[in-house]
Chain A
Amino acid sequence: MNFKHKYVFLFPGLFVLIGILIFPIIFVVRLSLSGWNSYNGLNFIGLENYIRLFTDDPRFWQSFFRLSFLSVTTVILQYVIGFALAHMVWKDIKFQRFFRVLFLIPMMTTPVIMTVIWRTFFHESLGPVNDILSNFGMSPKWLTDPTLAKITVIIVEVWQWTPFMFLLLLAGLLSLPKEPFLAAAIDGASPIRKFIYVTFPLMAPISIGAIIIRLIEASKIMDTVYVLTSGGPGTSTETSSFYIFIKGLREFQMGYAASMSFTYLIIMIISLTFIAKGLTKLLLKD
């Protein structure tokens, strides 16, 4: 029998894959070898953009290290808080369903709109946060102090995306086998020992997955920075994606922005591979 027609069924999927994944990547690579901007077309300038990036653009690397700090910090906090919340509603508590839905609400809101609301909260002269804090003699510079502005970005990111971590970890907790917990209970293990020696190790595979997914997402942070601070004060909250946005869609240096995007993609693939391996080694010893 001739089964060649079976390949026809692959075409829709293949077509979508080529259209939305392969073609954009190839196009970005081609674009990165051009000086395409608001006055030049898709010409060919070889590796000029990459040479400029590696030899004459410290701002890109500064924004990358800033991004690393912000994404690692937010993901650690999201993991700790998300795990705590998931652990809390995993148990039989009152209003369990209500809390499960409540903790998911931030993730369901639109990031840009929520960030505008957070910006209003943290507005240093017109916002409610400082209005309340002024009663205690405090008026923190949430958006205009270089260190505090980073913390504000972290707060907003943690608020928005902890529910995602919560959701994955709760799903993981609900799928854990009951036997190890019964055995621990028979042995008289305290809740803390039970968490350290049973829950946490059993949750390691899902934790690694959740952390990696969130790291990928957190490393694309752009909308929060754009709305809250526009990368300021100065360049103190400028992240890689925001810097690429400025070069590409503010200055219209599309070719150069493409070279930064491609470099960033390669760096992320390599570093996330190492992080995943490191986490596996650390958390999955046995």
Chain B
Amino acid sequence: MPAKYIKTKEMKDVTKSHVGVSSWDGTMYQYPVDGDRHYLKYRKDVIDNPEMQKKYKEATGKELKVPTTWKEYGEMAKFFNGWDWDGDGEKEYGSAEVMKKDDLMFAAFFSRSVAYAKNPRTPGGFFFDLETMKPNINNPGFVEALGDWVEATKYVPPGGINFGLGDEIGSFGGGQTLFSFSWDDAFIAAMQDDSPIKNKVGTAPLPGADKVWNRVSGKWENKYNQAPYIVWGWAVGVAKKSKVQEMAFDYLCFFSNGANHQADLAIGNFGVNPFKNSDFDPNLYIDTMGWDPEIAKSYTKTLKDMEKSKNRVFPLRVRGVFEFTSAVATGTSKALAGQLTPQEALDEVAKEWEAIVSRVGKKNVQEDYAVGVKMEDNKL
């Protein structure tokens, strides 16, 4: 990136995470136009409803609140699955998730895994042990997450294990489920003027877990753990040999300028999400999009807090990345379909990852992965 574009006022507003997304080992190569992260979306009108809280308490003996662990998420989703809890004459369900193979499902799995497998006390790699390049993907943390995910097949809408991202957006955004997690789009779709559930939804960080796997000691630590998952975001590269490089960068400046960017943020299916610090101002959503102030504040706080976290996970960014993520999609979808147990499925993925590392070259993957680990370990 030419220095003059890095020094612009707009670029200085980009969050640290998304400067990192557009950079490699501290050098910025791409122009960021979007910011992605996974977080929890829920039906605020149900979770905050005293009548529902009473009903839930009577049935389960537990409090109905925004879930802070995946186990709580599962319990609540199960309770609110398959009955008409919003009185619209249609059945509603527990959770809408991206479970369709080959449709970014690997990202949904990692969202569920970070709580159990990203331990802030064991730096040095979430996906692999950076020193040995042995995959962590089949350790008990990931297996526990996949076990939860298999359980989730019982509280997604009928056909839910064939839901791609578009289905998830339509399902939660259309008011069919209590929960959802993944990119911003489903939440923004739910908050659009044409949505039946506008101002009835809330956001929170991804659920955590009451235990986290310590891959160094090889034991569970019975401590609450939560980890944000920063799922990159669109960034644009301009060819080094382009004769119209300046024009391309000027266009990108125009595309992502304040006015255009704010207009893009309001459209659920557009795909552009907050990546600037100024996007975390709740007034932006209250004044221009008609959001309920409480919801706007909780939304911006959720996103802002992810930036502050010291336990963030970034997606794998190594040579052969598509092979690694495809192997995860295949293995986890076999578990969701009941073809393999979670342990068998992830053992298969680990075996495939070892084969990919060997094909791509251990040194190559290690060298690339070291940059991602630096980001996760807050050294970049």
Q: Which residues of A approach B to under 8 Å, CB–CB?
A: 35, 37-39, 56, 59, 123-127, 130, 139, 141-144, 146, 229-236, 246, 250-253
In the bound complex, CA of A234 to CA of B333 (Å): 5
| B293-330 interface code vs A (CB 8 A; 1 in, 0 out) | 00000000000000000000000000110110010001
In the bound complex, CA of A203 to CA of B57 (Å): 72
Q: Is the CB of B337 within 8 A of A130?
A: no
Q: In the assembled complex, which residues on chain B have CB atoms less than 8 Å from the CB atom of A37?
A: 320, 323
In the bound complex, CA of A77 to CA of B319 (Å): 45
In the bound complex, CA of A38 to CA of B324 (Å): 13
User: 7 interchain pairs (CB within 8 A)?
Assistant: A38-B319, A124-B158, A125-B159, A229-B162, A230-B101, A232-B100, A232-B101
Using known A-B contacts A39-B320, A246-B326, determine if residue A233 contacts B162 with beta carbons closer than 8 Å: yes
Q: Is the CB of A230 within 8 A of B93?
A: no
Q: In the assembled complex, which residues on chain A have CB atoms less than 8 Å from the CB atom of B336?
A: 233-234
A234 to B, closest residue via Cβ: B337
Cβ distance A235 to chain B, nearest Cβ, rounded Å: 6
Q: Which residues of B approach A to under 8 Å, CB–CB?
A: 93, 100-103, 157-162, 164, 170-171, 176, 319-320, 322-323, 326, 330, 333-334, 336-340, 355, 359-360, 364
In the bound complex, CA of A142 to CA of B158 (Å): 10
A243 to B, closest residue via Cβ: B330
Q: Is the CB of A235 within 8 A of B322?
A: no
Q: In the assembled complex, which residues on chain B have CB atoms less than 8 Å from the CB atom of A123?
A: 159
B100 to A, closest residue via Cβ: A230
Q: Is the CB of B93 within 8 A of A39?
A: no
Query: Chain A at the B interface: mostly helix, strand, loop or mixed?
Result: loop
Q: Is the CB of A252 within 8 A of B333?
A: no
In the bound complex, CA of A37 to CA of B320 (Å): 8
In the bound complex, CA of A92 to CA of B93 (Å): 54
Using known A-B contacts A38-B320, A39-B319, A39-B364, determine if residue A232 contacts B161 with beta carbons closer than 8 Å: yes
In the bound complex, CA of A139 to CA of B322 (Å): 36
Cβ distance A127 to chain B, nearest Cβ, rounded Å: 8
Q: Closest 4 A-B residue pairs measured CB to CB?
A: A124-B159, A234-B337, A233-B337, A124-B158
Q: Is the CB of A125 within 8 A of B160?
A: yes
Q: In the assembled complex, which residues on chain B have CB atoms less than 8 Å from the CB atom of A229?
A: 100, 162
Using known A-B contacts A39-B319, A251-B323, determine if residue A233 contacts B159 with beta carbons closer than 8 Å: no
Q: Is the CB of A39 within 8 A of B158?
A: no
Using known A-B contacts A39-B320, A235-B333, A246-B326, determine if residue A230 contacts B103 with beta carbons closer than 8 Å: yes
Q: Is the CB of A144 within 8 A of B322?
A: no
A123 to B, closest residue via Cβ: B159
In the bound complex, CA of A96 to CA of B28 (Å): 69
Cβ distance A172 to chain B, nearest Cβ, rounded Å: 40
Q: Is the CB of A232 within 8 A of B337?
A: yes
Of A38, A126, A233, A252, which is in contact with the most chain B CB atoms at under 10 Å from its CB?
Answer: A233
In the bound complex, CA of A127 to CA of B339 (Å): 26
Contact of A250 among B171, B322, B333 (CB under 8 A): B322
Q: Is the CB of A251 within 8 A of B326?
A: yes
Contact of B102 among A38, A56, A231, A236 (CB under 8 A): A231
Q: In the assembled complex, which residues on chain B have CB atoms less than 8 Å from the CB atom of A253?
A: 323
Q: Is the CB of A125 within 8 A of B158?
A: yes
Q: In the assembled complex, which residues on chain A have CB atoms less than 8 Å from the CB atom of B93?
A: 125
Q: In the assembled complex, which residues on chain A have CB atoms less than 8 Å from the CB atom of B320?
A: 37-39
B323 to A, closest residue via Cβ: A251
Q: Is the CB of B322 within 8 A of A251?
A: yes
Q: In the assembled complex, which residues on chain A have CB atoms less than 8 Å from the CB atom of B101?
A: 230-232, 234
Q: Is the CB of B161 within 8 A of A233?
A: yes
Cβ distance B157 to chain A, nearest Cβ, rounded Å: 4
Q: Is the CB of A235 within 8 A of B364?
A: no
A232 to B, closest residue via Cβ: B101
Of B158, B330, B334, which is in contact with the most chain A CB atoms at under 10 Å from its CB?
Answer: B158
In the bound complex, CA of A39 to CA of B100 (Å): 27
In the bound complex, CA of A234 to CA of B338 (Å): 8
In the bound complex, CA of A39 to CA of B323 (Å): 12
Q: In the assembled complex, which residues on chain B have CB atoms less than 8 Å from the CB atom of A232?
A: 100-101, 161-162, 333, 337
